[in-house]
Structure 1
């Protein structure tokens, strides 16, 4: 079984898609695009992650889609960590059609310039509120924010954190980028309430990616987190900037070939099912 723990859907008018270099993915991506890709890759189910629109209307749309789409097993919705009415916002999400598939929350912390953001009292309180609501928190951060992420995870042990894209290492920076990431991610991996996604590495590498380029990152993640705290994600359609949907999953799969059958099963599906509390058929 394979559970794609990180994919998106969007329409071409999402503001961030106007940035240079994103023309290849500046179009609508719908369930009709997703379904055949999952089937062709042998993926049983996926987790639909907020896509940077940063409004509550997207959450309502995604939960409704999930309710109508069996292979969308969970939704990681957007909510602001500085929302003073966050408990009410989450309660409102719980009243939406499809809310049974709400599994996590994410905010676009990667775009925050304040290095002390994750140490703010209101942000720490928000992270605790998310955990108390029975939801995970997805960390989409840059490598320079990993130390602050680790401190936030230690300060809110009742919340399960999911590190997206292994913290977006600077793979294209070669040995320097690898050393920087290794030093930064180790502290986060030491937190028992953190799991991580093997996703986004091809995009961070760029068009010249190879399995051998990303393998050291996967190997290090396996050493630091272990298979029981890792999950696979395609990061589709972002991955289409450099690779097709099957190629993105196959690249990660190639890096896992030396694991035992049980360990591969954990990374491929078990960790995602347990972490996000997904209802996925056998």
Structure 2
């Protein structure tokens, strides 16, 4: 039968050896044994042995552990002997004695440094550790640290953990491009991007004011991970140089370059197009869905309901949208609420997103009643954006009247799982900044819990988009 081999400490403190040594030697051995093993992981010991079978050595009445902690054990043993009055250290071998002298001399020099010098050294070490952390963030660990995705590295074990110094718990110096990034998932459900500024030809930067680059800058600055870019082929009213007939192509090309940031919501047969509410709308929708690999489309209508949703062309149009597994993003005023309810009831698998809180102004009770009636069909959702369209003056941030008299009733009727925040950038930039459009929901909605607010800021739209067929294979970065 195999017997476990015991360490010298156990052999010295038991049996005849323990009887000869007495309690004094046993206490000294235990002190030096534990001092020499200070800092070792607990799993580094196996049945009285050191990791990898390295055994402690009992030399000249002293326990000198093998490995990296040998010097620590020598110093602890010498200090223990020095604390005992009238006791002279026992004989040591030459190399161990020289090593002990070097360690004691080095420790004495370190403790003799002036206080300001020691403080300067501590600051220099902390600065070095901050630089190391910053370089790690730059090399790719920043996304795990800032966005809350913990790394999957296994902690060091056994002899790999020896000698590793833990970096101090200091705040890393994040690069400027990572400042402001938040942990929660935020998706902008309603924004735009144009090759040319469509509202005014006299602006000094018509090629950049509404561009994709400007949108990506605002997304990064606001900590927004993705955005649904609603196409709008407008600009003819401002002049021929402001037209954006190619807006679908422009946004689709940008989404191809940034598939993890942008989602194309193509403009199909909106009221500014000559083919608006003409025969063949369903075929044009199928063509756009195939050309741009759409997950969603948008359709803008006029102020008055012309009854097109109930015609054969309108019914075929929305039937094709449901068949293609698309999301319908509709810009409809209150006059169209009944028609939207009929479409939602006829196609329960078709998600319908209403722009800008249904364009319901505070105090319009009839319009509010029509919007709240749409809370019945579960496939109708509302975009929480466009507050500047609902109040006067349009720059009255944080839009208290619109929040309390429009958003609050809509939130109670629809619930946070059917609301999606949007910025309306860059169309809203003359009235509200991108940060303010986000702060309206993030900082001025006390009736929501943090979990409910996270749904409005991105969870709802993320769930809706993930059910669409074209987006199931896209590499979302937070998954």
User: TM-score over 0.5 for the alignment?
Assistant: yes
Q: Which residue of 1 aligns with 2:370?
A: 184
Instruction: Pick the aligned partner of 2:263 from 74, 77, 80.
Output: 74
The range that moved more, 66-75 or 1-10, is: 66-75
| TM-score, scaled to structure 1 | 0.84
Q: Which residue of 2 aligns with 1:9?
A: 193
Q: CA deviation at 1:262?
A: 2.0
Instruction: Pick the aligned partner of 2:401 from 193, 204, 213.
Output: 213
Instruction: Pick the aligned partner of 1:135 from 326, 332, 341.
Output: 326
Q: Which residue of 2 aligns with 1:227?
A: 416
Instruction: Pick the aligned partner of 2:425 from 236, 254, 277.
Output: 236
Q: Give deviations 1:139-173, integer Å, cap 9, x for gaps.
A: 101122222222222222232111111111124xx
2:338 aligned with 1:147 = yes
Equivalences for residues 5-84 of structure 1 within 5 A = 5-12=189-196, 14=198, 17=199, 27-28=206-207, 29-53=210-234, 57-80=246-269, 82=277, 84=279
Q: Secondary structure of the residue that 1:181 maps to in structure 2?
A: helix
2: CA distance, partners of 1:227 / 1:25 = 40
- 2:390–2:402 Cα contact (<8 Å) kept: no
- 2:387–2:399 Cα contact (<8 Å) kept: no
Q: Which residue of 1 aligns with 2:348?
A: 157
Instruction: Pick the aligned partner of 2:380 from 194, 218, 221.
Output: 194
Structure 1 219/140 Cα, relative in aligned 2: closer, same or farther at 3 Å? same
Higher relative contact order (CA 8 A, sep 6+): 1
Equivalences for residues 99-114 of structure 1 within 5 A = 99-100=292-293, 102-109=294-301, 111=302, 113-114=304-305
Q: Which runs of 5+ in 1 are unaligned?
A: none
2: CA distance, partners of 1:24 / 1:149 = 37
Q: Which has the higher strand share?
A: 1
2: CA distance, partners of 1:50 / 1:121 = 26
RMSD of aligned alpha carbons: 2.6
The range that moved more, 147-156 or 242-251, is: 147-156
Q: Which has the higher helix share?
A: 1
- 2:231–2:266 Cα contact (<8 Å) kept: yes
2: CA distance, partners of 1:26 / 1:250 = 27
2: CA distance, partners of 1:26 / 1:104 = 30
Q: CA deviation at 1:224?
A: 1.1
2: CA distance, partners of 1:47 / 1:146 = 23
Instruction: Pick the aligned partner of 1:89 from 281, 284, 287.
Output: 284
Q: CA deviation at 1:281?
A: 2.3
Structure label with greater radius of gyration: 2
- 2:304–2:336 Cα contact (<8 Å) kept: no
2: CA distance, partners of 1:62 / 1:104 = 13
Q: CA deviation at 1:94?
A: 4.4
Q: Which residue of 1 aligns with 2:457?
A: 268
Q: Which runs of 5+ in 2 are unaligned?
A: 1-184, 236-243, 270-275
2:307 aligned with 1:121 = no
- 1:24–1:241 Cα contact (<8 Å) kept: no
2: CA distance, partners of 1:122 / 1:91 = 14
Q: Secondary structure of the residue that 2:448 maps to in structure 1?
A: coil
1: CA distance, partners of 2:357 / 2:413 = 11
Structure 1 134/267 Cα, relative in aligned 2: closer, same or farther at 3 Å? same
Q: Secondary structure of the residue that 1:241 maps to in structure 2?
A: coil
2: CA distance, partners of 1:24 / 1:203 = 22
Q: Give deviations 1:83-116, integer Å, cap 9, x for gaps.
A: 54445434433443xx44x22111211x264442
- 1:82–1:126 Cα contact (<8 Å) kept: no
